[in-house]
Amino acid sequence: MLNNVYDYLLVASLFSIWIVILMNVVLATSGFVSYMKHYRNQTNRDLDHYPFVSVLIPAHNEAKVIEKTLLSILNLDYKNDQYEIIVINDNSSDDSADVLKKMQEKYPKRFLKIINTDNKIGGKGKSNALNIGLAYSKGEFIVIYDADNTPEKSALKELVYSIVHDDHAGAVIGKFRCRNKNANFLTRCINLESLYFQWMAQAGRWQLFKLCTIPGTNFIIRRSILEKIGGWDTKAVTEDTEISFRIYLLGYHIRFCPYSASWEQEPENLSVWFKQRNRWVKGNYYVLFKNYKYLFDKDAGFVRFDLIYYISVYIFFFVAAITSDLIFILNFGGFIQTTVMGYSLLLWFLAYVLFVLSVQISSSTEKGEVSLSNSLIILVMYFTYCKLWAVVAAMGFISFIKDLIFKREAKWYKTERF
């Protein structure tokens, strides 16, 4: 039984970890239901009419990849006169402007706009770049692609089909896949992580509550909504999560459309990965901090689930994991005595087994991802890649608190390309 304060602390942290595991089991199950629904009842998805769409591509020093991205977007399976492409070349110091100019000359008949900004109006992050692009756009719907993306040919059509057939959808998100997954161990882990995130977190929440988080690329949003909320929040470094919350609060949902897929380049070394994830973590803390009041607002509906989810992952799970690890170490060293240690070992084992199975289940939903090498990677991912995440979460939290105390403005780190 519980004998001392450490026992109570350990039980509390075990319970928090158990709750997070439970949430993931529920998400895994509903993600699976969503998968079955999407692929068992696939109907003919032809568009009757093609609404005018603006594709925005924010780019900062993207000369390495932008040409290929533009080519794939120019070749999308959508009526050419029904979509415009706006590239916001945001304060780039490389030769992006020349590359883009050449592309524009090569395709004079296409609606391809290039906006070059300097450090006065531009250079203030992705949100600011998107707002500039929005001001120039004419489309009824706005679609965003990151500058390193290669959308599949049908990606845009699928997004448009989903949003025109669902009046309550404020936005529709597609999938993103890892293009350079075979580059090294890190990119293989990122690939598995992205599959897990999309089929569990995105499809799972969509199935349960009609909630998704905009992933920053390969999504479509109604222009009317962007105008109503005044565009992107320039203070947010994860503008995608931030805008998702504002869409929910307007009473719309965000639809998940797995038929639309875009392939992107993921970080190939740890320093780039750390910087990118640090930005995400900080951004998500910002969103939590900005929206936590809705946790107690009855009208906020299912937004509260999302807040609980973020809080549970970023705060409870994190604190609980550190507490239980600390107690384990202190107990092991003989500094303290606990009687419930054995249970934490089982819980840890449960977390590990379920992690392995959940990543395996999400990779089994994609063609070509069930392989012995992927299974082996999943087995070691928990002890390697996931531990890096814990470090990032801690660093991001400290950095966010520092920004808050010293009133520093969050800076947008642009992911380096390979």
Partner 1 sequence: MKKNYNKKLSHQIDLVDTLIIVLFFMLTIIYAYGQFGEEILNFYVILSVMIGCIIGYYTNITIAILYSILFNFAYASLHIFVYITQAIPININVYFWMIVIPLFAIMFALKGKWIRDLQMENLSLKKENNEYVMVDKETGLRNSQSFFSELQGYMNINKRYGIIANLMLVKVKYENEVVRIIGMPKFEKIITLLSSEIDKMLREEDRKYILRDSNMFGVVFLTQNDDGEMVKDRLKNTIRQLAFHEEEALIHKMKLEIMVGLASFDQEKTSNAYEFFQMAEKDMEYDV
Binding residues (CB under 8 A) for partner 1: these are 1, 11, 14, 18, 21-22, 25, 28-29, 32, 35, 339-340, 342-343, 345-347, 349-350, 353-354, 357-358, 360-361, 364-365, 370
What's the min distance (Å) between Cβ of 41 and partner 1? Answer: 17
Of 186, 169, 187, the residue nearest 178 (C-alpha): 187
Counting DSSP H helices and E strands in the chain, the numbers are 15, 8
Closer CB to partner 1, 280 or 352, in the complex: 352
What's the min distance (Å) between Cβ of 373 and partner 1? Answer: 15
What's the min distance (Å) between Cβ of 316 and partner 1? Answer: 17
Closer CB to partner 1, 94 or 369, in the complex: 369
Instruction: Return the residue matching tokens 């004419």.
Output: 138
Residue 175 dihedral angles phi and psi, to the nearest 5°? -95, 155
Of 235, 241, 284, the residue nearest 397 (C-alpha): 284
Closer CB to partner 1, 17 or 226, in the complex: 17
What's the min distance (Å) between Cβ of 332 and partner 1? Answer: 17
Sheet containing 253-264: order of strands:
112-117, 83-90, 53-59, 141-144, 219-222, 169-178, 253-264, 150-151
Closer CB to partner 1, 21 or 386, in the complex: 21
Closer CB to partner 1, 70 or 359, in the complex: 359
Closer CB to partner 1, 256 or 294, in the complex: 256
Interhelix angle for 385-405 vs 317-332, to 10°?
A: 110
Between CA 356 and CA 351 the distance in angstroms is 9
Closer CB to partner 1, 350 or 386, in the complex: 350
Between CA 200 and CA 411 the distance in angstroms is 30
What's the min distance (Å) between Cβ of 345 and partner 1? Answer: 7
Euclidean distance between the first and final Cα of the chain, in Å?
Answer: 56
Per-residue exposure over 74-102, b if at least 16 CB sit within 10 Å of its own CB, e if not: bebebeeebbbbbbbbbbbeeebeebbee
Closer CB to partner 1, 20 or 171, in the complex: 20
What's the min distance (Å) between Cβ of 364 and partner 1? Answer: 5
Q: For the chain, percent helix, then strand, then coil, each to nearest 5?
A: 55, 15, 30
How many CB atoms sit inside 10 A of residue 361's CB?
A: 19
What's the min distance (Å) between Cβ of 330 and partner 1? Answer: 20
Closer CB to partner 1, 353 or 380, in the complex: 353
Closer CB to partner 1, 14 or 212, in the complex: 14
Of 51, 101, 115, the residue nearest 81 (C-alpha): 51
What's the min distance (Å) between Cβ of 3 and partner 1? Answer: 10
Per-residue three-class SS string for 230-244: CCCCCCCCCHHHHHH
Question: Distances in Å between the alpha carbon of 405 and those of 292, 293, 399?
Answer: 18, 20, 10
What's the min distance (Å) between Cβ of 343 and partner 1? Answer: 5
The pairing of strands 141-144 and 53-59 is parallel
What's the min distance (Å) between Cβ of 353 and partner 1? Answer: 5
Q: Would you give the distance in Å from CA 148 to the centre of its chain?
A: 15
Q: Residues 6 or more apart from 413 whose CB is under 8 A from it?
A: 275, 276, 278, 279
What's the min distance (Å) between Cβ of 362 and partner 1? Answer: 9
Closer CB to partner 1, 12 or 74, in the complex: 12
The answer to whether residues 129 and 103 touch, using CB atoms and an 8 Å cutoff, is no
